[in-house]
Amino acid sequence: MNLPQIKKPYIGLGILVFLIFLLLTSFHTETISRESISTFIKTPAQNPFMKSSAGVDNSTLGFGKITYITVEKSRERQRGMECIAHNAGFKMDRHYAFSPIGPDFLIETPKQKAMSAMLSHVEVLREIRSSGVSTALILEDDIDFDLRIRPSLANIAKAVSNYSNPGSQYDIAHPWGTGWDIVWLGYCCGYPWDNIDIVSIPDPIVNAKQLDPTMYIGKTANGTVGNRLIFKAHDNICTLAYAVSYEGAGKILGHIQNQTHSNEPWDLRLNGFIRDGKITSIATHPPVFLTGKGYKSVIHEKPVGETVEKPKTDKRAEGEEKPAKPKPLPGPVFKESSLDHCRKTWDELEQI
């Protein structure tokens, strides 16, 4: 039996609406899988080290947002990041590292891994520009820090704001200021530019282990126990934790777009922009964030079956003895390590 003519337009309209619904649903699902996914714990743990620190006492440590980059299959690292966020009481967005095909795509060579990491940071910078926040903190997924971090960050933020814009009035709504492009809070190598304009601020959580030169690659600034240095930096290596301003993110994206070569690791690219005077950089020493123990690098790990020859850098004369390597100082890097606290209470995390 044929339907009345009057109902045919409604049937066609219904089919059209259904097809549009399917299209939008599939697009939304794909978008969500690539977008940052909030890992904020609605009821943060009662951290005994969380003291009131005006300006950085919010869920994003005084920044507009915090994003951490992780490989989609790295559940152990994601678990660690979720736990330290829970214990420290701050909010992070999770951003899955760039993969040219999908999460199951095998990236084998160090060059491919470095390229994937670089594109992941570029994606995050674009998100920062789209969100319109004045500042943002970008973290890698293998960090550790002292749970007594907030009072320290309060002093660091004031010092950075004044360092980048001397004489300016401190704005509690924008505790880090905006007169900079990058602030390095976690790295493995870095030192002051021409050793000038170094500011020392008191920080009781800085211990001798954090100043130990065996912890870093190359040169580091000199420091003293109980104090942290703020300085204009260059030659920073590793992007464990760095903050960018809205303007800084735009500058970096512009310079990346104008580059003709594409094989350089992300930290060396930023380092080159800083050395060329294209972006301004401030760093703290010792770093606030360091690499957590027990994690393997997802970028520098040797692929299966590949033999990597170490470069010959020994230029000593024949018969000259090799100088003894300094032994690391004993004791923990962080007295109240966020990762140590998490690993002691993994069962509690499962109930969050």
pLDDT in tens, 28-79: 222 222 233 233 223 334 444 444 445 788 999 999 999 999 988 888 899 9
Q: Compute the mean pLDDT over every residue in the chain, rounded to the nearest whole number.
A: 76
Rounded to whole angstroms, the Cα distance separating 66 from 81 reads: 12
pLDDT in tens, 118-132: 889 999 999 999 999
Burial state string for 312-321 with b = 16 or more CB within 10 A and e = fewer than 16? eeeeeeeeee
Domains and CATH numbers, the chain: 35-191+230-305+336-349 (3.90.550)
Q: What is the pLDDT of residue 115?
A: 78
Please say if the pLDDT value at position 318 is more than 90.
Answer: no
Confidence of residue 189 (pLDDT cuts 50, 70, 90): confident
Strand 135-140 versus strand 199-202 pairing type: unpaired
Q: What is the pLDDT of residue 249?
A: 97
Residue 56 φ/ψ region, left for φ over 0, alpha for ψ in the -120 to 50 degree band, beta for the rest: alpha
Two tokens, residue 72: 């989609």
pLDDT in tens, 263-312: 788 998 999 999 899 999 999 999 999 998 866 555 444 433 333 344 44
Q: What is the pLDDT of residue 348?
A: 56
Question: Residue 99 corresponds to which amino acid?
Answer: S
Rounded to whole angstroms, the Cα distance separating 186 from 63 reads: 16
Burial state string for 6-36 with b = 16 or more CB within 10 A and e = fewer than 16? eeeeeeeeeeeeeeeeeeeeeeeeeeeeeeb
Rounded to whole angstroms, the Cα distance separating 211 from 234 reads: 18
Confidence of residue 13 (pLDDT cuts 50, 70, 90): very low
Q: What is the pLDDT of residue 191?
A: 73
